Structure 1
Amino acid sequence: MNTFLISIIAANVFFSYKGFTDVSFFRKFEFHIGSIRAGEQIRMISSAFLHADWGHLFFNMLTLYMFAPVIVVYFGSFSFLMIYIGSLLCGSLLTLYFHQNDYNYRAIGASGAVTGIIFSAILLEKGMYIFGFIPGYIYGFLYLLSSIYGMKSKRDNIGHTAHFGGAIGGYIITLSKDPAMLFENTSTVVLLAVPIVLLFILAKMGKI
């Protein structure tokens, strides 16, 4: 198994377990708009290594374990790490942008970073099928549309904004590393760009 992948999973397990057993530690490092705007920017990174429970942690790490090898094969270990961290930061930055005035907004989890890894893998692996029957590009398109809906409706506690930001990070970094994809995998690149453009149009119109 890749060293960077092992290290990321180990860090998530260690910090999440610490958060499970130490409420003050959890509160100190979770994503919290009020604290971040007060100068605690470390939370934008540390929150991505905390999880709500073992199920939340297991699902994120299992998904990472399944999709990470695709990126390692195509780009190598260091690029995998760069995409993971870049997606994590994009997820946190987009969340901060959309919730900057909601001082009580809180979030945790590696989902933003993991979503970036998924979208990078979808771009790289043309013949990818999610759950064995859904083409990767269709899954990615529908996933982003559902995230926009979740951001608009605000009917659950899922960090849709971080997921979307992570997807954007994985999308942009992957294309920057392999621009030829614009011509070799045009349909997937364009289809995944549609919800991203739509999000910012809705934001500009004040509808999200």
Structure 2
Amino acid sequence: MAPAASPKNQLRVGRVLKAHGLKGALKLELYTDDPDGRFAPGASFTLQVPEHSKWHRKTITVREFRWMNASPVVFFEGVDDRNEAETLVRAILWVDQDDADVVGEPDAWYDHQLIGLEAVRDGAVIGRVARVDHLPSQDLLIVRVDEREVMVPFVQAIVPEVDLPNGRIVLTPPAGLFEDLADEDQ
């Protein structure tokens, strides 16, 4: 049975790297493939900051977004100088995303869509996706099997099917990925 899906999910779209200049500008690290759309004037974000920050549990709205020397730079409403901008360094920016609004590539998923899916091998459930790790070379699905976690390369040859409506992924792993191989010398 598929896990219950909430109509809205939070998506991480950026992180504040550092203050830029004296007028409140902030350089960003982007986690979106549509920065000009996500950071359009008027867009607002929920901030992830430490509890002691004055920005804790606050939202912030984009005043201006632009590219400076190939780096994304944002100005937020109410952040008018470098001192105020410094208070946002390392903040993570989140947006609400309605899964019904997502129109994308057929083989692209958000992490929150994959987490919790049953991992099926040869028709039997062997575990559940615990998280997705993004590495420079490839993404890994971390599948929880009993008390251990197995790192599964998220490639077509090993994960040929992601079935969101039925809450499962189909795996065709190589020998030894989920079980110990017999020692050939014995």
Which TM-score band (shorter chain)?
A: under 0.3
The structure with the largest strand share of the pair is 2
Greater RCO structure (CA 8 Å; 6+ sep) = 1
TM-score (norm 1): 0.22
The structure with the largest helix share of the pair is 1
TM-score (norm 2): 0.23
